[in-house]
Amino acid sequence: MKYLFLFIFLCFVACKQPAQTKTNIKLSSKAIAPKHSGYGQTVLNNYQKFIAGLDVTDMASATIAAKKYTELFKGENQATRDTAYFLIADNFINKLNVVVDSLNYVNGMSADSLLADTSQIDTVPTPKLSASLLSYGKRLRENGFYVYISEGDSYIGRDYEFSIKWFAPLLSPVLRQYITQLNKDEKEGFQEDAGLTISPGQLVDRTVWWEKFAMQHPHSLIYKAAEENRAAYLSTLLIGMDNTRAADDYETGGLTDYFKEAWAYLQQHYANSQTNKLASTYFRLLQNRQKVKADALLKEYEKKKLI
C-alpha cells in the first residue's frame, strides 16, 4: 500500500471499508474529461507533450510543470485551465510523488528527521541535521511535497499548498474549493495503525462536506473524484477501521462509543443530509444488535455504490 497514491482502495475487515495509506485517507483524483471544441485543444496538446518530456525522477519537475502551466494558460478560457490542471498537471504530480517517495525509500533518506513539528524544516535546529538533509527537505517543500509519518515510517506525500500557490489563481472557484479541502484533509491526518486519529465530529464533517460538494457540482470536472471521496468517508463512518470499529462485537453488533458520538453529532448538525439518513438506518440496526440485517444493509449500499 505504500506507494499507491492515486486512487481510493477498499479492503475487507468484516465488511468493505476504505484502505488507508499511512495517516491519510487516499482521496480520488479521477475526473470526467470535458468535451472540447478546437478552441483550447492545441494548447492542451502542447502542454501534454511538454509534461511528457519532464524528468519523472526529479522532484523539481513539479515546479517546472507549474511554471509552464502559468505561462501557457493565463490567456485561455476557464474550462481549458481546469482541464490542464486536473487531467494533466495534477496527474503528473501524483505520478511524480510516487517516484519521489520510492527514491526516498530506496536511498534510505531519514526523512522522518524533518518532522520536528508541523512546520517541518522551518524550525528544525540545524545542528541536528546534515546539510544534505536540510537541502533535501527544502527541495521537497519548494516542489510541493510533504513528509508524513505513520507507524514509525516516514513517507513523501502531496502538499496541496503548492497547488494553491501555483495553480489556484487560474482555476475556477469550484476547483479551488476542491484543492483547499484536499489540503485541509491531508494536513489534519486521518488514521494511525488502523485506528482513526480524527474526532468523531471531524469524520462526520468531512463525510457531509464531500456529500454536499458532489451534489452541488454534478456536471463538473471533479464530480467523480468528489463522489468517490464521499463514498470512502461514508464507508469509514459506517464501518470504522480495525482499531476504531463501529460494531463493538463482530457477531452481534452494538455500537462503540466513538460511533455513538459520531451519530449524535451527525443528527445534531446534519439532520437533513443523505449521510444522516443512510448512517442512522444502519446505526439503529447495530445499536439494536441486529447485525445480520446491518450487514445486509451494507451490501445494499455497496450495490447502489453509496459506499
Mean pLDDT of the chain: 84
Q: 21, 5 in Cβ contact below 8 A? A: yes
**Dihedral of alpha carbons 247, 248, 254, 255, sign:** negative
Reported confidence tier of residue 15, pLDDT bands at 50, 70, 90? very low
Q: Which amino acid is at 235?
A: S
Q: 95, 51 in Cβ contact below 8 A? A: no
Of 241, 251, 286, 70, give the one whose Cα is nearest residue 162: 70
Q: 205, 185 in Cβ contact below 8 A? A: no
Residue-level pLDDT at 106? 57
Q: 65, 54 in Cβ contact below 8 A? A: yes
Residue-level pLDDT at 148? 79
Q: What is the pTM of this model?
A: 0.80
Q: Which of the residue ranges 13-22, 156-165, 211-220 would you say has the lowest mean pLDDT?
A: 13-22
Cα distances from 17 to residues 3, 8, 144, 263, 269, in angstroms, run 19, 10, 29, 18, 24
Q: Count helices and strands (H / E) in the chain.
A: 12, 10
Cα distances from 136 to residues 63, 98, 181, 197, 280, in angstroms, run 15, 16, 27, 28, 48
Reported confidence tier of residue 18, pLDDT bands at 50, 70, 90? very low
Give residue-wise pLDDT tens across range 61-96. 999 999 999 999 999 999 999 999 999 999 999 999
Residue 244: all three cell numbers together: 476504531
Q: How many residues does the chain have?
A: 307
Reported confidence tier of residue 104, pLDDT bands at 50, 70, 90? confident
Element (H, E) at 132: helix 131-142
- b or e along 100-133 (b: 16 or more beta carbons within 10 Å of the residue's beta carbon)? bbeebbeeebebebbbeeeebbeebeeeebeeeb
pLDDT above 70 covers a percentage of the chain that reads: 78
Residue 246: all three cell numbers together: 463501529
Please give the Cα distance from 27 to 171 (Å, whole number).
Answer: 20
